[in-house]
Structure 1
């Protein structure tokens, strides 16, 4: 009816088929228990050995360096050098003028037109009233029609008289006002760049913009204006 092989397979399965699932289950359970026991031990139990002061080679956490606070000069922007920072107006004391300056100032005031050597970002500009100035950069935060005042100058003079500062004049001695006309753009420039052993030519385009200004007023203040503003006359030392 039934052969011996069929009966053997039905009632007595081979030992390797029975042992294989048990080994697989045992190994899986062992790995799970080993992983859980290792994680729990490292997370809950602190290490019993004292911590070492030396940094191990396999550690990826960088060592914390001590920070020191140093006193620096306040600047407007980090990319502007210290010699190009704006000079803060020193109005804590009244303007002090010498007697020789007061005697020569009326002649300088009456002789027009005046010229001035104004400094903007450490660049001198020789200006007179009515001149058009194109700055070599785009001035931010200005609009056409705005009136600006240049308060840094090294020279102020006329045809026969010149007032020189060391290095700059006090801004209460003169007035130089300019008006923003607009923005000027240069023609589009295309520059070809290539490298050796390459067949690709790269084209770089540039189109810079500049701010246009017009000088509206350049004048030296008179003696009466300085006295109304509270100027003090210094007495010259006798030799």
Structure 2
């Protein structure tokens, strides 16, 4: 073991001074070390921040630990939802008499149609406004709706009737959703016999407004291009019969 005198001679310091300020010397060394670190960081500003974090003892950041960057959603990349094409198990069958009389019906305009929606008939012509007795779900103003069930389709002198409905490949009836209409608020008071309580019921129904955009009867050439088959009058047909 070295004595205190041997240590003082090794550091070339008097014994009294070494024993008088041991704490001040160590504290001053800490201060000088801290100031030296600050000056070195200021004298080299081009050093990256990762070196300072490494000297401080903090773990370096990795790309996997960084939070994901949220990119704005581009509406142009969202695919539009197209209507589902109808599927039929058999081709359309039309009679010869129907093909002979169909040009008289297609050339005479305007056409009217008796469309059925939820087993309710609606007599419509191009340009008419229709207020449904209910609120149609999953539609917005501007959407196009096609009515594919009809029992009567005709003009001023000719009528095409179905049994009971016409094939939807013979015509096109397109409607545009205009908006939603609501009725005035209705208040109803309900009471029971021998009771003093009166129950108040409020109702305010909403209805969908539609406008008929197009009522079209397909020509014989269009039906044949779509794959219609011409059969005899005695055989069963998918369409109806034109009456004058």
TM-score bracket, normalised by the shorter chain, equals 0.5 to 0.7
Map of 1:107 onto structure 2: 104
Distance 2:136 2:114 in 1: 19
Partner of 2:91: 94
**Cα-Cα RMSD:** 1.7
Q: Which residue of 2 aligns with 1:212?
A: 209
Q: 1:158: which partner in 2?
A: 155
Match of 1:133 in 2: 130
The answer to whether the aligner puts 1:145 opposite 2:142 as a matched pair is yes
Matched, 1:167 2:164: yes
- Find the structure with the greater CA-based Rg: 2
Scaled by the length of structure 1, the TM-score of the pair is 0.61
**Counterpart-to-counterpart distance in 2, 1:179 and 1:117:** 17
Q: For 1:35-54, what per-residue CA distance to the aligned partner results, in whole angstroms no more than 9, with x for missing partners?
A: xxxxxxxxxxxxxxxxxxxx
SS in 2 for 1:183: strand
Runs of at least 5 residues in structure 2 that lack an aligned partner in the other structure: 1-85, 235-244
Q: Return the alpha-carbon distance in structure 1 between the equivalents of residues 193 and 149 of structure 2.
A: 49
Q: Deviations over 1:51-90 (max 9, x none)?
A: xxxxxxxxxxxxxxxxxxxxxxxxxxxxxxxxxxxxxx66
SS at match of 2:221: helix
Q: CA deviation at 1:199?
A: 2.2
Structure 1 residues 194, 163: closer, same or farther in 2, change over 3 A? same
Count, aligned residues: 151
- 1:122 is matched with 119
Bigger Cα displacement from structure 2, 131-140 vs 91-100: 91-100
Unpaired segments ≥5 residues, structure 1: 1-88
More RCO (CA 8 Å, sep 6+): 2
> Are the structure 2 counterparts of residues 236 and 190 from structure 1 closer, same or farther at C-alpha, using a change threshold of 3 Å?
closer
> Equivalent residue of 2:178, what SS?
strand
- Assess, with a 3 A threshold, how the Cα gap between structure 1 residues 211 and 106 changes in structure 2: closer, same or farther: same
Structure 1: distance between partners of 2:87 and 2:233: 23
CA distance in 2: counterparts of 1:220 and 1:155, whole angstroms: 12
Residue aligning to 1:228: 225
TM-score with structure 2 setting the length: 0.59
Equivalent in the alignment of 2:15: none
- Paired with 1:139 and 1:129, the residues of 2 have a C-alpha distance of 21
